[in-house]
Structure 1
Amino acid sequence: MTTWSRDFEDISADMLAAVGGKAANLGELTRAGLPVPPGFCITTDAYKEVAALAGISSRFFGGSHDAAKARELILGTPIPSEISKAIVSAYEHLGPDVPVAVRSSATAEDLPFASFAGQQDTYLNIVGADAVLDAVRRCWASLWTDRAYAYRATNEIDNRTVALAVVIQRMVQSEVAGVMFTANPVTGRRHEYVIDASPGLGEAVVSGAVNPDHFVVHDGEIVDRRLGDKRVVIRSLPGGGTEHIERESTTDACVTDAQVIALAELGERVEQHYGSPQDTEWAIDADGELWLTQSRPITTLYPLPARTTSTADTRAYFSFTVAQGLYRPITPSGLAAFRLLASSVSKDILGLPVADPLAGPSGFVEIGMRGYIDATAAVRSEAGRFIMPKVLGVMEARSGKALRTLFDDPRFSLVPAPRRKVIGRVLRLALRLRVPYRVLQAIISPQLAHQFVERVGHEIRRRIALPSTATPAERLDHVQEVLLRHVFPVVPRVLPSAAAGFLMLGLASKIVGRPGEVQAVLRGLPNNITTEMDLELWNLVTRIQQSDAAELFGTESAEELGKRYQTGTLPDIGLTEFLEIWGDRAVAEIDVGMPRWSDDPTHILGVLANYMRLDDPDAAPDAVFARGAAQAEAAIDRLVAEAPRRKRLLRFALGRARALAGIREMPKYFMVIALGSVRRHLKVIGAELAAAGRIAAPGDVFFLDFQQIRAALGGTALHDVVSRNRESYEQELRRRRIPRVMLSDGTDVESVSQAAATEDGSLPGTPASAGTVTGTARVVLDPVGARLEPGEILVAPSTDPGWTPLFLTAGGLVMEMGGANSHGAVVAREYGIPAVVGVADATHRITTGQTITVDGATGTVLPA
């Protein structure tokens, strides 16, 4: 027999399909003995019955117009008598004409990744059976409001899987009410209770109609209070419905300190019950009794670390993947590769062997499917406080600034260490890695440095090679060997040569006395592998213009061009030869799970189509690069001529800077070649596993770590594991804010002191490439398929070499991450485009089509 209604006492968390998220939570809270006003739920069976009678079928799931029609049909369909009798009976059981709140409770609601807060309708102070029935029907119809429909589309929830239950709950005629988060939703700090309160019904706070009193409670103490004016009060009317009352503002608190602490204690009980932070609604009635009217998970919090090196102390974590320009999550195979690379660093660089290399060292921490380093020891050491901000200042300035804010935090007080011992350890490490020798060699003879770098490249290619006859198990063994022994050691071997160039640039800055001016000598920099790649890509445009493909690039989409290339119907433009050399590159290329250009050149074909629209010969990238090189040589002559002393030393230093700084890109390039080889081996393994039926498709192998892949090679089917891992990955793809530096209690360090716009409205950042440009902004979150018109200013969260083809036609660059010598800054300088990096939330504050001015010398962006 169909159950049309259920009392809260009879509802549990596993009944989501029958009662929806809101009712499931209220049932759980009631059964846990928490102070929930009594009520019941009209189940989804009732909605489905009415929807069927209304004639709502799959044809209503295609667009917002169909949603409006579905809404109209439900409102016009009478409720069957057996359902209306069940609703009235349950309502009368609460008491004669008792005022109730009628709330929607959808099956896609209060989920771990989407709360759906406010997407369906709520009706307050409903009195009488007829009014209740009408409110129920309107709740059912609200499943098809435009906002609910759009929210489901954004969260990729199929409309056909959604149904609506309705909660009917006795009204609390509150003297004061509001909301409470059991974790700080702004900073992410766990066990910090954030409370907003206002007189009357809580709807005033929930809807944003009032400026409420705001309290923050931590460790049983009120650590922050801000009293609002509370000018709007929503009250229940005697016969049903509510009224909005405008009143004079007041700065008196509407709750006592004791009530605030009691609310925090209630929040702690709720969180303990669910085992996760909660977003709650509460009310205090005229008798001073505290009620809990709703609870749902907070879905916007960034996850806590998967593991910590210590549970006793607060730890600080720095995201090295964000510093590398990778905001997106990393695939499980990519994380597995990072664990082995981290084990390699620990053993071969730091001399600290790892018990289980596949698990990675304790200092490597995965949070939100991204890579973090436990920086606690560095923050608490004198040497770390000296080195980390300087390194990050030129690599990822915002992370460096966030770390510096921890220096005054008593939780990260300095741990005394003999300076001589620290210096000795650093010197021994540098000597063991032959850093002084490589730096000196590069300064004396840049030619020898370049020859050495070339030998390293040949060596890494030889070590990653494997016969094509290798078995899948042999390939997996080889992958682990390459990652554990051969990839990261390239960095300390090659980087000192580039460091020598920047040391010379620093020396020149000291002599000139104006650090900003010497950056001009880095334009049109030779020996930069990324620049060479971009110019090679530009050279393909000439071949396109002289081939039968020119018309195709003007009329067909990148996807259509990609299909032509794959099927061999695209005229020869030299792309195959380009991919043979550069095919291991990609967007987010440090993740082995991400497709390479050789896997799918659609992105590159789209970039070439963009280049075809550049019709000014003087703006052609090769001309711009040559002009930049000439300007750099002229800058050297000018700086030497203006120098009052040490002219010969200055010319020597600037010359060495130009000769060596381009090597900066080589360590990562060699790593990308190795990671490309790793990916090819994993693709072969994936094909074998798919053929054996242990995964569904070859690409599924990238949603397994190496231990899981080995289990699959041993005969275990892993379809469910792939599905779970892919679901987690896709949820993280939707996350927009990623903490650069976070604490083990969940605090996003940067959010505590978020940079704001200056008085003139400009957005502050870090100067990256001198010059000023005013133009149209183009916000690009993913370069694949992006269309950047010549001269537009590229606004991006971050960039890596996979982005740089867009730089060739950009008029300027704005990035949310980066420092003066981050990848994007270096390439922007070489192309001579003004650039500002480290601009907080630039992709949110700036919109596509907006006119902005980028001042690369002062590090500011001024929106029009």
Structure 2
Amino acid sequence: MDGSGPLTVSLGEIDRGAVALAGGKGANLGDLIRAGFRVPNGFVLTTRAYALGAKAAGVDPARPTEAAERLRAAPLPEGIADAALKAYAGLGSGRVAVRSSATAEDLSGASFAGQQDTYLDVLGDADLLDAIRRCWASLWNERAVAYRRANSADDRNVSLAVVVQEMVDASAAGVLFTADPVTGRRRRASIDAVAGLGEKLVSGAVNPDHYAVDVTRRRVVQRPEASKAPVLSDQDVLALAELGDRVERHFNAPQDIEFALDGEHNVLLVQSRPITTLYPLPKDAPDPEQDLRVYFSGSVFQGYFEPFTPMGIQFFRLLSGALSGMFGFPVKDAVSGAGIFKDLGMRLYFDVTPIVRDPVGRRIFVTVTSMGEARTSTVVVELSADHRLALARRSRFRSVRAIGGALIRAGIPHAALSVMRSPDVTPERYVREVEDLTRIDLPVDASAEQRLDAFERLILTASPRMFPRMLGTI
């Protein structure tokens, strides 16, 4: 920050392009106001103010603990304090919410939200200036620093603005996800709400009411238990889902929204950011309203959560094509892999929709996944209730015959019988066969292209022969 730019700006004067000046939270709120959404009135103490305050306090990004202590202890430079109090007076000097808005926050690549501090019900000049200092200091708290380092964000390149907004006399508040954050299902709003201020939800002081909405059909599909009085009426829930849909369309991405309802049940937005935990949909994914698809994470099922390298992804593409042909479903392009193979976020995913829709396939899939990563089978059971994933009208005999035929074509029953006949010698025989299958004869001076071609041929030809033997051994 070079020291140029205003110290304060009204929220209504900025838009989503003002992240460098107002931080992610402030920029998004300003954009919502300009688009006509209801947002509490307020202003932003900009990153220029932080840069000047940090310089005056002697902040060194290489010493985060000391930086936080210096910012908490040092008084705001006179010009910054005057600008903040003047803007505060413009709001009527009443109760306000003071929120940190970092330049690395609310971005599409990672969610830094919640790493810095927020203070509610702040009243009076002295308390406002104190809340600003504490927000500045929170840029250097242990949690925020660790999270930035885990996400490769350079401490020297981050800054902080402070959003100051009129407090909403909230009858209820909460969080609205415009897509299901657990299953990744689009067009299914997920809402958690508490009576009064949302701070009780964020702090975990109370258990929120949970609601789910089928946005397309405008139907509440999940409510709190009937034994307790709900925080929100169905009308409130549907209004929130519709509002969330509009916000999602505005930002062209699923949103994580914080909201408050005033005494007349008008909804005010106090924050909106992308849901960064959602994986992108495949480029060839159909409209989920017409054809909902289920993508299964092979990586997570195996307990591997890191992204693959491009070479690793291509290996599994080739492998999927080879195994698809082994089961009797040859692919047109071996390099592109089987149609069920999907590369999302450099992780392995498979389109298992036909399996989930099959009477026998679904039962087998739930049973198998329950043996691995436990949450997968739970999610599949939940998805099964969606009308778009209703079981296909086919006899179980037909399903069993199709599955059995694929196993026979792959030679798996024969391999299993061989193991049963001679279990003691099978492991050694399997090792010898693998060594024979994977032996590649290439001249010493073979080019890189020749070596790559040989490796691709090995995957395509050896995998169908090794896989049945491996399963039989298991």
Structure 1 length as normaliser, TM-score? 0.48
User: After superposition, where does 1:387-426 map in structure 2 within 5 Å?
Assistant: 388=365, 410-417=387-394
Encode CA deviations 1:653-710: one digit per residue, 9 max, x unaligned.
xxxxxxxxxx44xxxxxxxxxxxxxxxxxxxxxxxxxxxxxxxxxxxxxxxxxxxxxx
User: After superposition, where does 1:24-63 map in structure 2 within 5 Å?
Assistant: 24-61=27-64
Q: Kindly tell me: are residues 385 and 188 of structure 1, through their superposed partners in 2, closer, same or farther at Cα, counting changes over 3 Å?
A: closer
Which of residues 470, 489, 494 in structure 1 aligns to 2:465?
489
2:177 and 2:255 in contact (8 A); partners too: yes
Q: Which residue of structure 1 aligns with residue 279 of structure 2?
A: 303
Q: Kindly tell me: are residues 252 and 275 of structure 1, through their superposed partners in 2, closer, same or farther at Cα, counting changes over 3 Å?
A: same
Q: Kindly tell me: are residues 467 and 402 of structure 1, through their superposed partners in 2, closer, same or farther at Cα, counting changes over 3 Å?
A: farther
- Distance in 2 (CA, whole Å) between partners of 1:203 and 1:319 is 34
Task: Write 1 or 2 for the structure with the bigger share of helix.
Answer: 1
Q: Kindly tell me: are residues 260 and 356 of structure 1, through their superposed partners in 2, closer, same or farther at Cα, counting changes over 3 Å?
A: same
User: After superposition, where does 1:280-291 map in structure 2 within 5 Å?
Assistant: 280-291=257-268
Q: Partner of 1:101: helix, strand, or coil?
A: strand
Q: Which residue of structure 1 aligns with residue 223 of structure 2?
A: 225
Aligned partner of 1:137: which letter?
R
1:32 Cα deviation after fit: 1.9
1:193 is aligned to 2:184: no
Encode CA deviations 1:55-108: one digit per residue, 9 max, x unaligned.
1224524xxxxx1x32332234343333333323333333x4343322211222
Encode CA deviations 1:139-183: one digit per residue, 9 max, x unaligned.
222323344344445545433222211112222233333332223
- Distance in 2 (CA, whole Å) between partners of 1:228 and 1:408 is 21
Which of residues 3, 6, 10 in structure 2 aligns to 1:7?
10
Q: Which residue of structure 2 aligns with residue 509 of structure 1?
A: none
User: After superposition, where does 1:168-317 map in structure 2 within 5 Å?
Assistant: 168-219=164-215, 220-226=218-224, 251-299=228-276, 301-307=277-283, 310-311=286-287, 312-317=290-295
1:16 Cα deviation after fit: 2.0
- Distance in 2 (CA, whole Å) between partners of 1:267 and 1:359 is 37
2:328 and 2:410 in contact (8 A); partners too: no
- Distance in 2 (CA, whole Å) between partners of 1:367 and 1:184 is 18
Q: Which residue of structure 2 aligns with residue 474 of structure 1?
A: 450
Q: Which residue of structure 2 aligns with residue 161 of structure 1?
A: 157
2:298 and 2:350 in contact (8 A); partners too: yes
Aligned partner of 1:346: which letter?
S
Unpaired segments ≥5 residues, structure 1: 62-66, 230-250, 500-662, 665-864
Encode CA deviations 1:483-522: one digit per residue, 9 max, x unaligned.
2333343223x24xx73xxxxxxxxxxxxxxxxxxxxxxx
Q: Kindly tell me: are residues 323 and 21 of structure 1, through their superposed partners in 2, closer, same or farther at Cα, counting changes over 3 Å?
A: closer
Q: Kindly tell me: are residues 469 and 10 of structure 1, through their superposed partners in 2, closer, same or farther at Cα, counting changes over 3 Å?
A: farther
Q: Kindly tell me: are residues 285 and 150 of structure 1, through their superposed partners in 2, closer, same or farther at Cα, counting changes over 3 Å?
A: same
Q: Partner of 1:137: helix, strand, or coil?
A: helix
Encode CA deviations 1:100-144: one digit per residue, 9 max, x unaligned.
322211222223454344332323333444543343233222323
1:93 is aligned to 2:90: yes
- Distance in 1 (CA, whole Å) between partners of 2:419 and 2:144 is 62
- Distance in 1 (CA, whole Å) between partners of 2:415 and 2:192 is 60
Q: Which residue of structure 2 aligns with residue 362 of structure 1?
A: 339
2:282 and 2:344 in contact (8 A); partners too: yes
Q: Which residue of structure 2 aligns with residue 82 of structure 1?
A: 79
Unpaired segments ≥5 residues, structure 2: none
Q: Partner of 2:176: helix, strand, or coil?
A: strand
Q: Which residue of structure 2 aligns with residue 17 of structure 1?
A: 20
Encode CA deviations 1:618-657: one digit per residue, 9 max, x unaligned.
xxxxxxxxxxxxxxxxxxxxxxxxxxxxxxxxxxxxxxxx
- Distance in 2 (CA, whole Å) between partners of 1:214 and 1:451 is 56
1:389 and 1:400 in contact (8 A); partners too: yes
Q: Partner of 2:437: helix, strand, or coil?
A: helix
Encode CA deviations 1:222-254: one digit per residue, 9 max, x unaligned.
22222799xxxxxxxxxxxxxxxxxxxxx4444
User: After superposition, where does 1:375-390 map in structure 2 within 5 Å?
Assistant: 375-382=352-359, 384-385=361-362, 388=365
1:305 and 1:365 in contact (8 A); partners too: no
Task: Indicate the RMSD between aligned Cα atoms, in angstroms.
Answer: 3.6
1:307 and 1:365 in contact (8 A); partners too: no
Which of residues 307, 315, 318 in structure 2 aligns to 1:340?
318
1:373 is aligned to 2:371: no
1:460 Cα deviation after fit: 1.6
Q: Partner of 1:70: helix, strand, or coil?
A: helix
Aligned partner of 1:225: which letter?
R
- Distance in 1 (CA, whole Å) between partners of 2:41 and 2:378 is 51
Q: Partner of 2:282: helix, strand, or coil?
A: coil
Encode CA deviations 1:427-486: one digit per residue, 9 max, x unaligned.
765665556665666656668867864663343233x34333122232333333322333
Q: How many matched pairs?
A: 467
Encode CA deviations 1:347-392: one digit per residue, 9 max, x unaligned.
3x13433233332221112344332332222333355357556766
1:339 Cα deviation after fit: 0.7
Aligned partner of 1:343: which letter?
G
Encode CA deviations 1:495-552: one digit per residue, 9 max, x unaligned.
4xx73xxxxxxxxxxxxxxxxxxxxxxxxxxxxxxxxxxxxxxxxxxxxxxxxxxxxx
2:60 and 2:67 in contact (8 A); partners too: no
User: After superposition, where does 1:573-722 map in structure 2 within 5 Å?
Assistant: 663-664=473-474
2:327 and 2:410 in contact (8 A); partners too: no
Q: Kindly tell me: are residues 466 and 30 of structure 1, through their superposed partners in 2, closer, same or farther at Cα, counting changes over 3 Å?
A: farther
1:323 Cα deviation after fit: 4.5
Identity of aligned residues (%): 43
Q: Kindly tell me: are residues 450 and 270 of structure 1, through their superposed partners in 2, closer, same or farther at Cα, counting changes over 3 Å?
A: closer
User: After superposition, where does 1:486-565 map in structure 2 within 5 Å?
Assistant: 486-492=462-468, 494-495=469-470, 499=472
Aligned partner of 1:371: which letter?
L
Aligned partner of 1:334: which letter?
G
1:402 Cα deviation after fit: 6.5
Q: Kindly tell me: are residues 8 and 468 of structure 1, through their superposed partners in 2, closer, same or farther at Cα, counting changes over 3 Å?
A: farther
- Distance in 2 (CA, whole Å) between partners of 1:397 and 1:90 is 52
1:212 and 1:227 in contact (8 A); partners too: no
1:350 is aligned to 2:327: yes
Aligned partner of 1:354: which letter?
V
- Distance in 1 (CA, whole Å) between partners of 2:269 and 2:103 is 21
- Distance in 2 (CA, whole Å) between partners of 1:18 and 1:298 is 22
- Distance in 2 (CA, whole Å) between partners of 1:173 and 1:271 is 26
Which of residues 93, 98, 102 in structure 2 aligns to 1:102?
98
Q: Partner of 1:295: helix, strand, or coil?
A: strand
Q: Which residue of structure 2 aligns with residue 246 of structure 1?
A: none
1:34 Cα deviation after fit: 1.0
Aligned partner of 2:279: which letter?
P
Aligned partner of 2:74: which letter?
T
2:303 and 2:373 in contact (8 A); partners too: no
- Distance in 1 (CA, whole Å) between partners of 2:415 and 2:209 is 62
1:211 and 1:228 in contact (8 A); partners too: no
Aligned partner of 1:136: which letter?
I
2:361 and 2:399 in contact (8 A); partners too: no
Q: Kindly tell me: are residues 404 and 104 of structure 1, through their superposed partners in 2, closer, same or farther at Cα, counting changes over 3 Å?
A: closer
Structure 2 length as normaliser, TM-score? 0.83
Q: Partner of 1:226: helix, strand, or coil?
A: coil
Q: Which residue of structure 2 aligns with residue 133 of structure 1?
A: 129
